[in-house]
Structure 1
Amino acid sequence: MTALENAAPAPAPTRAGAGARPPTLYAQLAEEVQAAGLMRRRVGWYVTTTAVVLAVTVGAWVAFVVLGDSWWTLAVAAVLAVTSAQFGFLGHDAAHRQVFASGTANAWAARVVAGACAGLSMGWWTSKHNRHHSGPNQVDRDPDIATGVLVFDPADAPNRTHPAARWFLDRQGWAFFPLLLLEGVQLHVAGVRDLLTRRDVPHRRLKLGIIVARLVGFLVAVAVVLPPGKAAAFVAVQLGLFGLLMGGAFAPNHKGMPIVPAGTRIDFLSRQVLMSRNIDGGRVTDVAMGGLNYQIEHHLFPSMPRPALRQAQPIVRRFCDEHGVRYTQTSLVGSYGIVVRYLNRVGLGERDPFTCPLVQQRRA
């Protein structure tokens, strides 16, 4: 299964009746959201959005050819980074079954849009993203907080004992966003490597062919039009900005939120709300972040179409306020500050900088 239909499985709404248990808080919220029609498919919106992004992409390539051997082509590289990120967000939506009612149609839409237009492998990303949705910020479940170049879990900080590693760890928050400039390369490499090494991936050769054709075609087009120096700069700008846009949209949503200890059991609504953070902003923020600024609503209802998330936000926030579930929302710049400070605090050795709210309640 390549689509994210099993990501963050949400309990179905239930009504209390004779001999039946009362509905959970999540079931009550889900009934309200369903009654508001917010789970209805918005195929027209997705078709229009995809067409607009595709038109901008084609226009950018036409401008690239017309400009030819010019440093102004770096502006085209920036535009292509933006459209590639938008294709990545559209692939994310399709993989979550937000576009069509058919799982198969969504899966193929994700493969084509993300693979042919952004050079991304949805198969590799899906497995990782499924685990993230099922246990956001939980030590033994969420791969997004696994220790790598950066350390997100304070418990892992003491394991960095080499002096150079300790020096970097103490300042890792400041390195976070510069490292995102490499995220575009990492996404391409990880996707291709996964398709080359895993033999059990459905339609593996087709997926690999689509992605390789896109990546090679991109590099050939740049090499044909630009001399080596400008070509290298063009690729660097496109990949660097693409990685920054993708990472900058995902990073504010959970980094610096409570880290859940391994093995902790939490009800679905609390798990998704307490570990997620929404980002303030208007329509520009919605577009720039691909709707991920409504992270709480997205985690509660992963198959909700993107344009409905804005409408769901006041409903979800009011419901959480009424039932005493902490709902976090801040500005984009503020969220980035939280991420940097959190990573630096982890590196400086604070062992419990953000305690899970449920753990705090139990201690009290």
Structure 2
Amino acid sequence: MAISDINEYAHLSDTDVEALGAELDALRRRVEAELGERDVRYLRRTILAQRALEAAGRLALFGSRRRSLWLAGTAALALSKIIENMELGHNVMHGQWDWMNDPEIHSTSWEWDMVCASPHWKHSHNYIHHKYTNIVGMDDDVGYKVLRVTRDEPWEPRRLFQPVSNLVLAATFEWGIGLHDINIGGVRKGEQTWAETKPKVKLFAAKIAKQVAKDYVLFPVLSGPNYRHTLTANATANLIRNLWAYVVIFCGHFPDGAEKFTVDTLESETRGQWYLRQMLGTANFDAGPALAFLSGNLCYQIEHHLYPDLPSNRLAEVAVTVREICDKYDLPYNSDSFTLQYLRTLRTINKLALPDSWLLDTVDDAPETTSEHRFDAMPTRAPGLRTALTRMTTSRASRALRARKL
């Protein structure tokens, strides 16, 4: 099932893991010492570009009933929402720009353009998810309470509808994220009281009212005779933003090799082990500058989880050193094309809709669910996880070849 001994799984000694942590700490200090005017210019240009795109989109939608202007306005609006959500909202609220001491661009004051209230997201994401990354039963981002993405969660008949649930979650992603921290189901299960939940519901309702009024009342009314065009454009832009955010985030957390862990790994967890858990529990996808920008630089999900409060524009250079550290400690660096990472994620979601008895892989050695016991049959300990995985692949290929010859 999930990994319970992270050092054993990684084929590293306690000394190795602490040395790994020391190198990653040193990398953080180096980047923090270099932050300055170049980073400020990047952020302010990003804000200016996002606002210019939104203004252009709104003007195009106000101006005409022509289909070409509707397409142009919708595209500009969708792009502005993606940038605001991914590269601005997500990263500002992580505290990546708090060092600027700008009260308007600060994790405590920023409110993003989606129905999820920022205090709810900062609790469920910044605190729960980033502290307890992929700890089964503690990190609710493992499947978002909707999807089964590991065999550590028992199969239930309702999982047969998981492929459909996945599509609904993708299309309504901002609403799913908005409900995530409220945990209405927890009231029903007795995990929290209504008195604890009511203030969250009121804040969520207020944010919904604000977003609905802006996108589906105010701007359509201001468009006059074009109100239907603006209404459909706003709905389409929000849908595009939802789908994009869903795909980017899922590619960073659910492809093959994004490991899950038991609560046991938290016992006396050292700084080095926390770093190691982030490295093994996340995945990157290959991206050029444009795709990296549109993903909020979450194509560097490994680096983001190592340093969630470092400015996103620095993650590309950080990734170079992280790769070198992975090579040094014989660790895999989980990165592949955007398309392949999502297809692997989709395979896991659809596969785990089925009962375990229908699946071929074992509960300790499957693409989506592994533990240190996958190496029990290995005759000698490998110098690191990457070598261990290579040996397993070679051994399987040899067995398959012998079976075909027989």
Instruction: Compute the TM-score of the two structures, normalised by the length of structure 1.
Output: 0.78
Q: Secondary structure at the match of 1:109?
A: coil
How far apart in 1 are the matches of 2:96 and 2:137?
Answer: 28
1:336 aligns with 2:342: yes
1:237 aligns with 2:236: yes
Residue 14 of structure 1 corresponds to none
2:215–2:234 contact (8 Å) kept in structure 1: no
1:154–1:346 contact (8 Å) kept in structure 2: yes
Q: Which residue, out of 47, 69, 76, partners 1:79?
A: 76
Q: Which residue, out of 94, 97, 101, partners 1:96?
A: 94
How far apart in 1 are the matches of 2:131 and 2:350?
Answer: 27
Q: How does 1:163-242 map to 2 (within 5 A)?
A: 165=158, 167-169=160-162, 172=163, 176-177=166-167, 179-187=169-177, 198-199=198-199, 212-220=209-217, 221-225=219-223, 230=229, 233-242=232-241
Instruction: Compute the TM-score of the two structures, normalised by the length of structure 2.
Output: 0.70
1:293-330 Cα offsets, whole Å, 9 max, x none, are: 00111111111111110001110011111012221111
How far apart in 2 are the matches of 1:95 and 1:143?
Answer: 19
How far apart in 2 are the matches of 1:230 and 1:59?
Answer: 15
1:253–1:277 contact (8 Å) kept in structure 2: yes
1:120–1:191 contact (8 Å) kept in structure 2: no
Q: Secondary structure at the match of 1:137?
A: coil
1:12-64 Cα offsets, whole Å, 9 max, x none, are: xxxxxxxxxx9542122221443355762522211111111111111111111
- The CA deviation at 1:168 is 2.1
1:147–1:156 contact (8 Å) kept in structure 2: no
- The CA deviation at 1:213 is 3.7
Runs of 5+ consecutive residues of structure 1 not aligned to the other structure: 1-21
Q: Secondary structure at the match of 1:347?
A: coil
Aligned length: 331
How far apart in 2 are the matches of 1:308 and 1:68?
Answer: 42
Residue 189 of structure 2 corresponds to none
The alpha-carbon distance between structure 1 residues 56 and 230, as it changes in their structure 2 partners (threshold 3 A), is closer
Residue 123 of structure 1 corresponds to 119
2:28–2:307 contact (8 Å) kept in structure 1: no
How far apart in 2 are the matches of 1:262 and 1:192?
Answer: 23
The alpha-carbon distance between structure 1 residues 294 and 287, as it changes in their structure 2 partners (threshold 3 A), is same
Q: How does 1:1-364 map to 2 (within 5 A)?
A: 24-35=19-30, 40-41=35-36, 42-68=39-65, 72-89=69-86, 90-101=88-99, 105=103, 109-110=106-107, 113-115=110-112, 117-118=113-114, 120-129=116-125, 130-146=127-143, 148-160=145-157, 165=158, 167-169=160-162, 172=163, 176-177=166-167, 179-187=169-177, 198-199=198-199, 212-220=209-217, 221-225=219-223, 230=229, 233-256=232-255, 257-265=258-266, 267-348=273-354, 349=356, 350=359, 352=363, 353=366, 354-356=368-370, 358-360=372-374
1:161-216 Cα offsets, whole Å, 9 max, x none, are: xxxx35424xx2x763564112134446668999x955489xx97x9867744541
Q: Secondary structure at the match of 1:258?
A: coil
Asked which structure has the greater RCO (Cα within 8 Å, sep 6+), the reply is 2
1:121 counterpart letter in structure 2? A
Q: Provide the identity percentage.
A: 20
2:321 counterpart letter in structure 1? I
How far apart in 2 are the matches of 1:155 and 1:36?
Answer: 37
Residue 401 of structure 2 corresponds to none
2:133–2:277 contact (8 Å) kept in structure 1: yes
The alpha-carbon distance between structure 1 residues 146 and 342, as it changes in their structure 2 partners (threshold 3 A), is closer
- The CA deviation at 1:153 is 2.7
1:53 counterpart letter in structure 2? Q
Q: Secondary structure at the match of 1:233?
A: helix
Q: Higher Cα Rg: structure 1 or 2? A: 2
1:253–1:295 contact (8 Å) kept in structure 2: yes
2:343 counterpart letter in structure 1? G
How far apart in 1 are the matches of 2:137 and 2:33?
Answer: 33
Q: Secondary structure at the match of 1:47?
A: helix
- The CA deviation at 1:362 is 6.9
Runs of 5+ consecutive residues of structure 2 not aligned to the other structure: 1-16, 185-195, 379-406
The alpha-carbon distance between structure 1 residues 91 and 198, as it changes in their structure 2 partners (threshold 3 A), is farther
- The CA deviation at 1:232 is 5.2
1:111–1:121 contact (8 Å) kept in structure 2: no
The alpha-carbon distance between structure 1 residues 186 and 76, as it changes in their structure 2 partners (threshold 3 A), is farther
The alpha-carbon distance between structure 1 residues 93 and 228, as it changes in their structure 2 partners (threshold 3 A), is closer
1:283 counterpart letter in structure 2? P
